[in-house]
């Protein structure tokens, strides 16, 4: 079968896209799961873009300084956690608008990352190792496409866990209740602010890990142009995934495929319109938002307290 | 609007106290200024942690921003696009929209102005015709761009904050696409750019200064939009919509058209900023257009509490911050992102300060007297 595949540029492009989708989707998945948790609790955090960029920087610096990329991943999560916790804390003050604060954290997190990241642009930090899943195929393209980073599986496991926990655990119920009706949560004796604070902080932790993937695996180095709005697109992605953690995986893969479109076409020699294909994920996001904004299904599943759907 | 409801009250019950309007005004100055000072204090702590001198930082900020004729002009030069992008955020904000697409409208405005210049300059059309056409194109492109986000908001229910930011990314990708491709000047080897418009077509400086005319345009637009938003039926209708869109609909106000109009005005402002960046600063469209003016403009507008007139001094302040960035970088050995950190910090502190409105005792009218 391999002989027939070898010459086909289309197959090459498709395989590159499959590999690209898995690679590119991982940061989307982490940010989207973090945002999903935050939004389920009834608050929106647009500042996850800042957590993502700061996470990417901290992960790279952590990996460089300790020599252990997984330590970097952990530090990145902590950096995201701090930003998320700050967001959660400020938002519980009266009269503070969570969307506006999110924009502020986007610029604050990015600024901090650029400031402290300056010395780490040059040096090489140890990167995360991939798991080679495709070596048995004997096809170098497939083998390369199936080099999957363990973080991808962590993300999938996390999504499954969140899906299960939202349905079957007391904590899941509390988060969903807080998100759907703050008065109901209050009546049940749940501290709405505390739940949202924790949900936002943990959401920030996940976004930080998404950033670690960017700097430690793919593209795999730290520079100022590393993130191009993945954190923000993840917010739209959550709406598209209708606040379902499992659907977040699929949506992330779709976005990953869109993001991999340009590079995989380039791999078969189509470089015309490379910059246009770079815009593909944004255009896709926008189209999805237009399609889902008035959707009745989406409206039914949206957390009732969410300011973005009102 | 608050002033009107409030003035009738003040006559009756409040003796020896400033009127509620004055108090509200004082509050809207006091809290942002306090937020600025608090950010400066926090940033000083940050600097102390890094072993740098805060005193030196603020001294350099003054020297680099206002210290000499040169630095002052540099400041004003940078304030010009900030006024325009600040307006691009403030006008939709008055109608209740958080529109953060100024960066994209600026880039697209600059690109379309530069693209329009290519045939006109090649054909030798005189500058007094070419430049207005370029400006109109830029305003139209920016206006359509943000107007589209406004249209999506009202007619399709798409969240405008996310859509406008996505449109920004699309605008930047579009610029890269054209600048690297169809519109690329073959002579621009290192930095892909469009064809330079040439010195004959460059917008000069305001006489007696080295500040380009974009500053004048910004001032005129800020004053004009201030009048439009506070003294006309249109502005009143827009503010009613911003206060309560349902009430506005119930009153029969054309909410959809108001939203699209406000967002188009906003986009036109940002597009015009892009035109001046091309016609006065860079002379061509390239990646330098993506300088963050659109994002700083959001901060400017927040600090000015979405009041067009107040945007002018705030834009000058942030122009100074950006102008002093270079000297701070050189003299204190700090990365260029220092300014970004300070801006982000101001942003966070400022929005946190929103919580103090109506809660600072000496700025509140005495409620107790009303009850007795």
Q: Is the pLDDT reported for residue B7 higher than 70?
A: no
Residues 285-304 on B with a CB inside 8 Å of A are: 295, 298-299, 302
- Say what the pLDDT of residue A309 is: 56
A280-293 helix and A230-240 helix, angle to the nearest 10 degrees: 30
Q: How far apart are CA B225 and CA B91, in angstroms?
A: 8
Q: How many Å lie between the alpha carbon of B221 and the closest alpha carbon of chain A? A: 25
Other residues' Cβ atoms within 10 Å of the Cβ of residue B9 = 14
Segment A7-29 shows an average pLDDT of 85
Contacts of A308 in chain B (CB under 8 A): 159, 161-162
pLDDT reported for residue B180: 87
Residue A97 near chain B (CB below 8 Å) = yes
Residue B350 lies in a domain: no
Can you tell me the mean pLDDT for A151-166?
A: 96
* Three-class secondary structure assignment of chain A: CHHHHHCCHHHHHHHHHHHHHHHHHHHHHHHHHHHHHHHHCCCCCCCHHHHHHHHHHHHHHHHHHHCCHHHHHHHHHHHHHHHHHHHHHHHCCCCCCHHHHHHHHHHHHHHHHHHHHHHHCCCCCCCCCCEECCHHHCCHHHHHHCEECHHHHHHHHHHHHHHHHHHHCHHHHHHHHHHHCHHHHHHCCCCHHHHHHHHHHHHHHHHHHHHHHHHHCCCCCCCCCCCCCHHHHHHHHHHHCCCCHHHHHHHHHHHHHHHHHHHHHHHCCCCCCHHHHHCHHHHHHHHHHHHHHCCHHHHHHCCCCCHHHC
Q: Kindly state the percentage of chain B with pLDDT values over 70.
A: 94
B 306-335 residues with CB below 8 A of A? 335
Name the least confident of A68-72, A186-190, A299-303: A299-303
Closest CB to B161 among A46, A50, A111: A46
Structural domain boundaries, residue B252: 82-306
Which carries the bigger pLDDT value, residue A208 or residue B363?
A208
- Chain A residues 219-248 with a CB less than 8 Å from chain B: 228-229, 232-233, 235-236
CATH class in words for A2-309: mainly alpha
d(CA B173, CA B181): 12
Is 70 exceeded by the pLDDT of residue A294? yes
CA-to-CA distance for B180 and B183, rounded, in angstroms?
Answer: 7
Determine, for residues B169 and A282 on separate chains, whether the beta-carbon distance falls below 8 Å.
yes
A140 touches chain B (CB under 8 A): no
**The total number of structural domains that make up chain B:** 1
**Is the Cβ of A124 closer than 8 Å to some Cβ of chain B?**
no
pLDDT digit string, tens, across residues B273-323: 999 999 999 999 999 999 889 999 999 999 999 999 999 999 999 999 999
Tokens of B292: 């963050």
Per-residue pLDDT, A1: 45
User: What is the ipTM, given to two decimal places?
Assistant: 0.90
DSSP state of B159: -
CB contact under 8 A, A97 and B295: no
A305 neighbors A180 (Cβ within 8 angstroms): yes
Whether the predicted pLDDT of A91 surpasses 70: yes
- Residue that wins the pLDDT comparison between A263 and A56: A56
Task: Confirm whether B354 is domain-assigned.
Answer: no
Q: Tell me whether residue B216 is in a domain.
A: yes
Domain presence at residue B349: no
Token representation of residue B269: 């402002």
Cis peptide bond prior to A196, omega within 30° of 0: no
Q: Which residue of B has its CA nearest to A292?
A: B158
Average pLDDT (B134-161) is 95
Does residue A275 belong to the interface with chain B, where contact is any CB pair within 8 Å?
Answer: yes
Using a 10 angstrom Cβ sphere, with 0-12 exposed, 13-18 middle and 19 or more buried, the burial of residue B139 is buried
Domain ranges of chain A: 2-309
């Amino acid at each position: 079968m391999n002989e027939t595949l070898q010459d086909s540029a289309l197959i090459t492009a498709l395989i590159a896209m499959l590999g690209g989708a898995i690679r590119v989707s991982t940061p989307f998945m982490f940010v989207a799961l973090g945002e999903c948790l935050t939004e389920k609790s009834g608050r929106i955090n647009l500042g996850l873009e800042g957590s993502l960029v700061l996470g990417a920087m901290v992960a790279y610096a952590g990996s460089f300084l300790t020599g252990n990329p997984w330590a970097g991943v952990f530090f990145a999560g902590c950096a995201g956690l701090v930003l998320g916790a700050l967001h959660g804390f400020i938002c519980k003050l009266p009269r503070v608008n969570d969307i506006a604060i999110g924009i502020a954290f986007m610029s604050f997190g990015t600024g901090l990352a650029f400031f402290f990241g300056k010395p780490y642009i040059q040096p090489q930090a140890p990167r995360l190792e991939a798991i080679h899943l495709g070596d048995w195929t004997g096809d170098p393209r497939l083998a390369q496409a199936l080099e999957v980073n363990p973080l991808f599986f962590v993300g999938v496991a996390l999504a499954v866990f969140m899906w299960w926990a939202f349905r079957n655990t007391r904590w899941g119920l509390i988060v969903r209740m807080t998100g759907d009706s703050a008065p109901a949560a209050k009546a049940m004796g749940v501290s709405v602010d505390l739940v949202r604070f924790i949900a936002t902080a943990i959401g920030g932790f996940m976004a930080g890990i998404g950033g670690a993937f960017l700097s430690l695996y793919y593209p795999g180095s730290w520079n100022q142009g590393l993130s191009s709005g993945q954190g923000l697109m993840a917010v739209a992605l959550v709406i598209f995934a209708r606040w379902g953690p499992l659907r977040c995986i699929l949506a992330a893969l779709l976005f990953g495929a869109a993001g991999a479109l340009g590079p995989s076409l380039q791999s078969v020699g189509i470089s015309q319109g490379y910059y246009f294909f770079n815009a593909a994920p944004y255009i896709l996001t926008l189209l999805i938002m237009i399609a889902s904004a008035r959707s009745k299904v989406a409206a039914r599943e949206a957390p009732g307290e969410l300011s973005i759907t009102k | 609007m608050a002033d009107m409801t409030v003035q009738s009250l003040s006559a009756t019950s409040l003796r020896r106290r400033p009127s509620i309007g004055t108090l509200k005004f004082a509050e809207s100055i006091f809290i942002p200024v306090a937020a600025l000072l608090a950010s400066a204090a926090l940033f000083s702590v940050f600097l102390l942690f890094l072993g740098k001198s805060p005193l030196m930082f603020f001294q350099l900020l003054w020297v680099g921003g206002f210290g000499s004729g040169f630095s002052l002009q540099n400041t004003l030069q940078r304030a010009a696009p900030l006024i325009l992008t600040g307006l691009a955020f403030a006008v939709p904000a008055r109608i209740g929209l958080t529109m953060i697409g100024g960066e994209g409208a600026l880039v697209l405005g600059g690109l379309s102005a530069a693209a329009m210049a290519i045939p006109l300059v090649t054909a030798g059309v005189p500058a007094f015709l070419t430049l207005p056409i370029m400006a109109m194109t830029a305003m139209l492109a920016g206006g359509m761009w943000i107007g589209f986000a406004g249209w999506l908001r009202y007619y399709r229910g798409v969240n405008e904050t996310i859509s406008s930011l996505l449109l920004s990314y699309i605008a930047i990708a579009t610029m890269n696409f054209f600048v690297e491709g169809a519109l690329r000047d073959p002579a621009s080897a290192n930095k892909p750019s469009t064809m330079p418009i040439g010195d004959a077509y460059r917008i000069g400086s305001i006489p007696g200064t080295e500040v380009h005319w974009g500053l004048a345009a910004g001032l005129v637009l800020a004053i004009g939009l201030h009048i439009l938003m506070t003294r006309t039926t249109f502005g009143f209708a827009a503010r009613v919509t911003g206060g309560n869109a349902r009430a506005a609909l119930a009153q029969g106000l054309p909410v959809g058209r108001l939203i699209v109009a406000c967002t188009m005005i906003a986009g036109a402002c940002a597009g015009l900023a892009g035109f001046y960046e091309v016609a006065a600063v860079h002379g061509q469209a390239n990646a330098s257009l993506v300088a963050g003016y659109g994002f700083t403009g959001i901060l400017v507008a927040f600090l000015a509490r979405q009041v067009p007139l107040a945007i002018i001094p705030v834009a000058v302040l942030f122009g100074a911050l950006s102008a002093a960035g270079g000297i701070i970088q050189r003299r204190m050995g700090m990365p260029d992102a220092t300014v970004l950190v300070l801006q982000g910090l101001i942003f966070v502190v400022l929005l946190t300060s929103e919580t103090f409105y109506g809660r600072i005792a000496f700025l509140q009218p005495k409620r107790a007297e009303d009850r007795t």
